[in-house]
Amino acid sequence: RAARAASAALRGARSVSTVGVVPTPPIDAGAVRLGLPGAVGNTPLIRLNSLSEETGCEILGKAEFLNPGGSIKDRAALFLVKAAEESGKLKPGGTVVEGTAGNTGIGLAHVCNARGYKCVIYMPDTQSQEKISLLRVLGADVRPVPAVPFTDPMNYNHLAMEYAESHENAVWTNQFDNVNNRRAHEETTGPELWAQTGGKLDGFVCATGTGGTLAGISRALKAASGGSTKVFLADPPGSVLYSWVTSGGAKMERSGSSITEGIGQGRITDNLADTELDGAIHVPDERTVAMVFRLLAEEGLFLGASSCLNVVAAYDMAQRLGPGKVVSTVLCDGAARYQSRLFSRSWLEDKGLFEAVAPEHRHLVAF
């Protein structure tokens, strides 16, 4: 009787008694995502109204902060785990190990929970406490380590590789040099952007950590547009990539440092290598911080520093391309995972950045 009632409920019949049966609403297969992995991607594209009006362009931000793990890195995490499964290296009950500024680790921790893997995360101890706490809550074995350059054997990436090599059924996903990271964006983020703009996308710009996002999206957009969509790199202080792109690959110079987390790079990763780029935009921290507060006050968007740096770069790219163009970027994550820093007056003052917040937005510096 229960089975008959349930199947009648499924067909939407109202006359059958459903006493003792949990009514099941009709399922719209297109609207249902298959578990957490199925909920990654297909993010909306948000028009940044005040910036679009100011530039006479359409400035569009892809809302990657709406992924289930809260950042663009969920896409890479899923592709890295799937590739490890498909290669046979990652077996049921195994351990995923990664070196990360935090967001890839958060994405991996979610995917590992959904698929029954353990997760070990090495990260530089310069990253925000919020990301470390979140990783712990998600059940990851988090190991903050001193921030030393890639050339140092104690760098967090090398430690992750060593852990995987010395433990049974443990796999290092190697996000910096494993091109399955880039593939996530070539196969999902890039094609989504092209479809969402109806193939009318004049420019794309974003900053780079591993290079997966920029390189994958560049490949997808260049292929879809026949090369006509312009793709620019955005870069914070302390990174070599601006000099590398603007010198046509001849120089790798850097100066200063940045409060942005997860972006800026000192080498050409395998993900970034052989990427077609049409230009580069350098964004100082003053402009990034001002944009954090402008987007909150004017657009209602609460975004992390890399997203805000990307928006500054999209604004500059729109001005370079001229009015009437469509320019897009990625809004990588939300500000909640940096709020103890970005919204703290003493932290901003310590970095010499409080004055960068527009006077009319300073009431938003909450702590």
Q: Name residue, tokens 């970005």.
A: 342
Q: Are 224 and 216 in contact (CB under 8 A)?
A: no
Distance CA 11, CA 30 (A): 17
Task: Count how many residues are written for the chain.
Answer: 367
Contact characters 29-68, ligand PMP, x per CB under 6 A: ----------------------------------------
In the complex, what is the shortest distance from the CB of residue 190 to ligand PMP, in angstroms, rounded to a whole number?
12
Contact characters 109-138, ligand PMP, x per CB under 6 A: ------------------------------
The residue whose Cβ lies closest to ligand PMP is 262
Work out which of 124, 236, 304, 334 binds ligand PMP, going by CB under 6 A: 304
Distance CA 99, CA 76 (A): 13
Work out which of 70, 107, 236, 262 binds ligand PMP, going by CB under 6 A: 262
Strand 58-62 relative to strand 45-47: parallel, antiparallel, unpaired?
Answer: antiparallel
Question: Per CB under 6 A, which region of 91-99, 111-119, 206-214, 240-248 contacts ligand PMP?
Answer: 206-214
Query: What is the radius of gyration, based on Cα positions, of the chain?
Result: 22
* Sequence-separated (6 or more) residues with CB below 8 Å from residue 18: 5, 9
Among 345, 348, 355, which Cα is nearest to 259's?
A: 348
Catalytic residue among 62, 73, 131, 325: 73
190 binds ligand PMP (CB under 6 A): no
Alpha-carbon distances of 119 from 73, 172, 177, rounded to whole Å: 15, 10, 19
208 binds ligand PMP (CB under 6 A): yes
209 binds ligand PMP (CB under 6 A): yes
Work out which of 61, 105, 212, 237 binds ligand PMP, going by CB under 6 A: 212
Task: Look up 118 and say whether it is catalytic.
Answer: no
Among 252, 250, 226, which Cα is nearest to 238's?
A: 252
103 binds ligand PMP (CB under 6 A): yes
Name the residues annotated as catalytic. 73
Binding region for ligand PMP (CB under 6 A): 71, 73, 101, 103, 208-213, 262-263, 304, 306, 332-333
